[in-house]
Structure 1
Amino acid sequence: MSGFLAVLVVVLIFIVIFQIAKASEYVSILKGEKKSRQQSNRINGFLLIAFLVLGLVGVYYCNDILKGKILGDSASEQGEGIDTLIYVTLAITGIVFVITQILLFWFAYKYQEREGQKAFYFPHNNKLEVIWTVIPAIALTILVAFGLKHWFQITSEAPKDAAIVEITGKQFNWMIRYAGKDGLLGRKDFKKIDAAGSNPLGQDWEDQLNKDDIMSSEMHLVVNKPVKLIIGSQDVIHDVGLPHFRLKMDAVPGIPTTLWFTPKYTTKQMKEKTGNPDFVYEISCDQMCGSGHYSMRAVIVVETQEEFDAWAAKQKSQYDLAHATAAPAAPAADSTQKAVAANK
């Protein structure tokens, strides 16, 4: 209801402005072009000041009601630094935005066309050019440097005790593979991809490392334990978006990418922190990838080591699943042969 009222108010404001503009046209016909233009300038100047005040109040109000309520605090240790960088960037750009907008609208009001007032004109000023070029360049260079610092951190070599999880994008779902007890993922070959034969990633069954790898539609992670993601795609470019952890990385066909992070809160803890019993960590696709892009979503479950071990113990390796589908065929043939032999 409040949203409908807000839209209604905006529509009414536009109607009022439109009617004022129409009235100005009629006045111009009666009073002449010059007087009409000056009167229009006065009206526009007043509207600009009103827009400035209402706009700044609106920005402050939106920030006040939405701050920290969309995603909350970062759920990863690496995301804390990224949040800080975002706040610093918003503070710097916010100050510049407020100052420049106030000057822009105030100057438009103060220096509008008036009788006996002539505009001062100067084509060039070296000092001003240097100021508004050098200062922004320095500020942006510093921000980029800190951004690269965080980028190099999450894309650097993961800690030795980090869990290994592979995530592969395909229109329009995510396929997630875990290294088994050996801690290593088996070899893949795109020529061996066989979704019907329980081998959607094209795992090479002759590689012994594949024997204990498991797959899941959910990503299970251990709280306070580093995890290294190996990211890929089978068709078009996708993007692994981890908004609660403040991370994202492109999934590029034929070019594996990696990142690592450390989850801070379990899913249960986040449900308590947010007061939302239905809270889940999400994996989104942050790159337009086709008509089903909107549905390309997966869930991350962050849990304790004991809970993860219990979950992993219930999973069958993809090798066992792939070979179990072919196993029943042999007994069926044997029973048929036995029946023929018995009839003879």
Structure 2
Amino acid sequence: MTMFLTIAVIVLIFVVIFQIAKASEYVAVLKGAETSRKQNNKINGFLMLAFLVLGLIGVWYCNKELYGKTLLPHGSASVEGERVDSMLWVTLALTGLVFILTQVLLFWFAYKYQEKENRKAHFFPHSNTLELIWTIIPAVTLTILVVIGLRNWFLFTGEPPKNAMVVEVTGRQFNWMYRYPGKDGTFGKKYFRNIDDANNNPLGLLWDDAMGHDDVVAQTMYLVKGRPVKLIIGSRDVVHDVGLPQFRMKMDAVPGTPTTLWFTPKYTTKEMREITGNPNFVYELSCDQMCGNGHYSMKGSIEVVDQEEFDVWMAKQKSAYLTAFPDKDPANAKPAADSTKTAAVKTEATAVKSTAKM
């Protein structure tokens, strides 16, 4: 109902404007083109001024109503993401100042320097000074912003601290998979031709590589608060994009070309629920690259916990190798005591049968 009323109001506004334009044409015919043009010129001057005032009020109102629905009020959830927030605020401040200044001058000049009887236009063909000012100042400003951005980019994509944990993130239409190295701290080898969803090998791991027998593949990414994490990102089909809005990070997932980034989580998931006031808050990993008809549903979940909680979670995980070969899982083997007992029962049964025959 609200949408219908909004559309109706917009259509009505256009109809009113159209009718006013038609009425102006009729007035021009009746009064004469010259008199009508002068009156319209005054009206347009005042409309420009009114549009300026209403436009600035609209900008302020939209910011007041919608700012709280953005991610900005809560700040970055990662230490490195604070740099991104700083760049964003500086950029908004500079572009916002330029926007307000230029728009005020544009509409004020349209009103102040409207056509009048005794006013003549001043012919101003060129000024080297002005050309230099509006060329050099924007160029220097943009160069500074680009240099700051490149420094931050090289930091995010460079080598993380030595205590960083490593998680491999692989995208596929339309979900994410996360792989953790086992106790050896090394990922096993994989090959795309070995991908076999039917036999529990969605990443194409090479089972003859012993280094990968303890690798863990999970459907939810678990990270540790205060501990840097390096993401090794890839894709097994089309180009995806790892979007981490709360951490202010983003990186393409390209088939056959691993990309990396790293960051340090600042808050656990529980803490973020208190900070945001949302009891259902979950860190999100979204796909920020159009990747097919199911792109909208390609979301992953991230849980940020303390180190102790992470260790408990990791201890409960079963390696991808044992998932693919459950018969080699020691947990599925029968206890030795049971085997001995069974053998004893069989021996006793055989002895009873032999005695019966005698």
- In the other structure, the counterpart of 1:226 is 228
Question: In the alignment, which of 276, 299, 315 is matched to residue 297 of structure 1?
Answer: 299
TM-score (norm 1): 0.89
1:2 is displaced (CA, Å) by 8.0
Q: Cα gap change, 1:6/1:47 in structure 2, threshold over 3 Å: closer, same or farther?
A: farther
Cα shift at 1:135: 0.2
Alignment correspondent of 2:165: 163
Q: Does 1:43 align with 2:12?
A: no
Structure 2 residue runs of 5 or longer lacking an equivalent are 330-358
- Size of the alignment, in residue pairs? 327
Distance across 2 between alignment mates of 1:7 and 1:138: 44
1:216 maps to 218
Q: In 2, are the aligned partners of 1:213 and 1:317 still within 8 Å (CA)? A: yes
8 Å CA contact 1:49–1:105 kept in 2: the answer is yes
Q: For the structure 1 residues 306 and 191, does the alpha-carbon distance in structure 2 shift closer, same or farther, using more than 3 Å as the test?
A: same
- 8 Å Cα contact 2:45/2:110 also seen in 1: yes
Q: Distance in 2 between matches of 1:171 and 1:34?
A: 66
Quote the Cα distance in structure 2 between the aligned partners of 1:6 and 1:224: 48
Contact 1:164 1:184 in 2 (8 A): no
Of 105, 117, 120, which residue of structure 1 is paired with 2:119?
Answer: 117
- Change in Cα spacing, 1:325 to 1:67, as seen in structure 2 (3 Å) is farther
State the superposition RMSD in angstroms. Answer: 2.1
1:67 match: secondary structure: helix
Q: Percent identity?
A: 65
- Greater shift, 58-67 or 98-107, is seen at 58-67
1:92 maps to amino acid: L
8 A Cα contact 2:322 2:328, kept in partner = no
CA distance 1:8–1:325, shift in 2 (3 Å): farther
SS at match of 2:80: helix
CA offsets 1:144-174 (integer angstroms, 9 cap, x no match)? 1111111111111011111110111111111
Q: Distance in 1 between matches of 2:164 and 2:94?
A: 36
Q: Which residue of 2 aligns with 1:185?
A: 187
Residue aligning to 2:131: 129
* Matching residue of 1:95: 97
1:63, distance to aligned residue in structure 2 (A): 2.1
Which residue of structure 2 lines up, in the alignment, with residue 52 of structure 1? 52
1:143 match: secondary structure: helix
Structure 1 unaligned residues grouped into runs of 5+: 328-344
Residue in 1 aligned with 2:289? 287
What is the correspondence of 1:193-342 to structure 2 with a 5 Å cutoff?
A: 193-324=195-326
- Give per-residue Cα distances to partners, 1:286-324, cap 9 Å, x unaligned: 111111111111111111111111211221111111122
CA contact (8 A) 2:268 2:305 kept: yes
- One-letter code of the match for 1:89? T
Greater Cα radius of gyration, structure 1 or 2? 2
SS at structure 2 position matched to 1:221: strand
Specify the alignment match of 2:67 in structure 1: 67
